[in-house]
Structure 1
Amino acid sequence: MSLLLIFEQLLNGLQFGVMLFLIAAGLTLVLGIMNLVNLAHGSLYMVGAFVCAWVSLQSGSFLLGLVAALPATALVGILVELLVLRRLYDRDHLDQVLATFGLILFFNEGVKIVFGARPLRLDLPDWLSGAVEILPGAPYPAFRLAIIAVGLLVGLFLYWLVTRTRLGMLIRAGASNREMVQALGVDIAKLYTLVFGLGAVLAALGGVMAGPIYAVEVGMGEPMLIMVFVVIVIGGIGSIRGAFVGALLVGLTFMLCRAFLPGLFGLFLDPAGAAAVGGALASMAIYILMAGVLIARPRGLFPAQG
């Protein structure tokens, strides 16, 4: 096991964690501020990936696909909030789960109708398709480095937005006591719509970043959604900082275990058995991590205050 291999897998874990954060940040805002369990958040991730892939195929420009995907997904998210989710805020979480699960089915069938049932390819421009030699003998894909940079910039932007702006003050106040904020004259309905639209944009950005690495296909949001919920539980519901730390922990745990556990079991198992056992334990590792965090800190690492 070389140090270069470990370094590469650490970067892979960081890249995957940052991509998880892009999706988890939006869902954290919705959960923490609107107290809404939105299982359809992964569908917005899928919509962003499909819009970007389709526009890129038609125009030949990845950047044009990115520019189209973000506002298109924001519009879809705002319409869903206005037409469906606004009626669920005062309902219990079981009603929210059932309704948003129905939205998953609706989005999957809608994407098939609009874009077709076949997976789409999302090709990168030449300036993002190469590799950057970070260390001598350790080239790393430029697009994965771009994902890391974008995720860190989004994290800084959200920190500034939530802690340094009037909108952020209203968001934090609405999360703590929405009745009081409404009594002070703030249109809480518009605030919720804005927050949900921002969450949709972040989900779409995650879909755009994932598209060139994974398949852009119907149902791609559901597996990612499960990992995003793990991130939010580990970090603390409603905490952007918790979502960032939780996403990095999950990304590093998943990638390092997937890379090294089969080799570890290969020391005393046959190759097929080592691959099967190592792969299974790598998939379980993030849930074991979540269980350990919840035993030590039942509300997560950085629970939102208020």
Structure 2
Amino acid sequence: MEKLKNLGVNVKMLTGDTKETAKRIASLVGIEGNVCDIKNIKEECGVFAEVFPEDKFTIVKAYQNKGHIVGMTGDGINDAPALKQADFGIAVSNATDIAKSSASAVLTKDGLTNMISAIILSRKIYQRLLTYVFSKTIRVFMIILSIFVYYIIYNEYILTTKMVLSLFFFNDFITISLATDNVEYSNKPEKWNIKKLTFTSFLLGLFCTIWIPFLILFVGENLLHLNIEQTKTFAFLTIVLSIPVSILSIRDRGLFIKVPPSKYLMLAMILSIVASNLMALFGIFMVPINPKSILYADIFVGLMFLPSLKFLKTLVHSLYE
């Protein structure tokens, strides 16, 4: 019960026992709140006593109508309607077949401790999805607008067809590995806020849209003096490098990296960096560029893009929350 409270879950007990018995049991296991009956469903109620099996469905529905996300756990046939109605129905390990089929999840071990694992896992999935949404937005803004800006200025497409196909391969390879990432989960329940999510994603995307074309146009042409074909290779390398760097920057919420990436995500990022560097060096599907230009791309994307995006990411996460 204490772990559930620390995760922001408000635990309530439903029982057919008398109020005195229910109050005693609740005090022993640490469930707080008033002892109520079916006629008095309020926010401050922590225990519902003398309830009939059908009353559990009514209580679940009442709290859903109040705007709550409701989880329900049970084991009997009479619990099935409430388990089905709840946003997250949980059948215990020794529950009846009907209860298990009505629930969203079935515990495989005795007791309720597996509920903690289910909540933590769901919040990790939420964070992975959040990382995916942010990184997807960054890439869409960065790739499309970089191509658009360069075409407006030079009447040339900055990426060839082979470069685009290679870019999609690197992008998908890293995106798939996000499903395995080690992420820091929130200690409070979270809900999707599409308006704030769109706004914060736009800020991240706008930053990358400004930074990457600047890196391609200013550094590539003015500092490295690359011709048009070499600039295309430099642009390809820069965009590919920005994919793992942006994901590494936004995957956790703090200013610094607290939880290291999973081995699969780390492997995918390292392979994309090494492969894109080798493609640019040896001219695979593109005109080769010298090691100095490759080193510039690695340094500018890694050492300048990463800290800038970390600060910006901290800001947009605070806005989103």
The answer to which structure, 1 or 2, has the higher relative contact order (CA under 8 A, 6+ apart) is 1
